[in-house]
Amino acid sequence: MPLHLRLISAYRISRSDEHDFLCFNVYLHQAHSFEAYLARLQMLADTKPLVWRIRIDSIREGEESKCELLKIQIETACRAGLAGTIIYSFTDDWFRGGKQVDDWAFGLTTRDRQPKTSFREVQRLFATTPYFPLTRSPKVSVVVASYDGGRRLEAKWGMAGAGTGAFVGMFFSLPALILGTIFGAVAAEKFIAKKSGENSLKAGAGAAIGFLMSTIARLICAVAMIALFLFAALGPR
């Protein structure tokens, strides 16, 4: 089955089912604006794969700047999930309206087909595509999906500190268990989460209240289990 490629303006995106790919031209040289526009185009194109056409002039930008822009745009397009990129053009030798164009130099090679510096740069980038290395690797990746999570998980370091303190305190005594829970929450909020003293104390108070409520709940469960056992053992048969 043949694939149909439609070259369109960024301002006239169509979601017609007549085409398999959408190709667009947007000449933005600022990285942040380019990234934002790619995200916008992905939303407008819906399920259609996007192809990005890059055109950078060697005369006005210079070869060094052109190579840097090519690197940014090809890598950004790849990371944004585009289906591909097209470099315009292969050579500086091109015509418009039957006339030789000599005041633009979009090519990767000169008019006599000699590779420019940008040719080597694109060759290197396409050899890496789409597996560009991360600028830095995270030690741990955690994804949490929650409703109203920003408010509910605000004291996550306090919870972690309280759990650590309780674990350490359980090897000593009941008072150490209680105090370890409180001090662990305060220390984690203060020194790890960098919260204010007031918020750290609130986390400690919350840990103490949580410990107290959980203890009461355990006692109620224990009493209920003992009562059920005695009723089953000593009750009428």
Q: What is the pLDDT of residue 155?
A: 56
Nearest to 160 by CA among 192, 185, 142: 185
Would residue 78 count as lying in a domain? yes
Mean pLDDT of the region 109-120: 93
Whether this model's pTM surpasses 0.75: no
- DSSP E strands in the chain: the ranges are 5-9, 21-25, 50-55, 84-88, 95-96, 99-100
For the four alpha carbons of 115, 121, 124 and 126, in that order, the dihedral sign comes to negative
Cβ contacts of 217 within 8 Å, gap of 6 or more: none
| 33 and 97 fall within a common domain | yes
Distance CA 198, CA 182 (A): 14
Would residue 219 count as lying in a domain? yes
Is the bond into 58 cis (omega within 30 degrees of 0)?
no
Would residue 214 count as lying in a domain? yes
Chosen domain end from 113, 128, 143: 128
pLDDT in tens, 123-167: 999 888 878 877 777 676 655 554 554 455 455 666 676 667 777
How many domains, in total, are found in the chain? 2
Contact 93, 40 (CB under 8 A): no
Question: Would you state the structure tokens that stand for residue 221, as one six-digit string?
Answer: 């469960």
Would residue 181 count as lying in a domain? yes
| 19 and 99 fall within a common domain | yes
Lowest mean pLDDT segment, chosen from 17-21, 80-84, 91-95, 173-177: 17-21
Would residue 136 count as lying in a domain? no
Contact 211, 181 (CB under 8 A): yes
Mean pLDDT of the region 56-68: 92
Q: What is the pLDDT of residue 1?
A: 38
Nearest to 178 by CA among 190, 158, 162: 162
Distance CA 118, CA 85 (A): 15
| 124 and 160 fall within a common domain | no
Mean pLDDT of the region 88-95: 88
Domain residues for the domain of 177 are 155-234
Question: Would you state the structure tokens that stand for residue 92, as one six-digit string?
Answer: 């500086």
Contact 157, 193 (CB under 8 A): yes
pLDDT in tens, 29-44: 888 888 888 888 888 8
| 55 and 98 fall within a common domain | yes
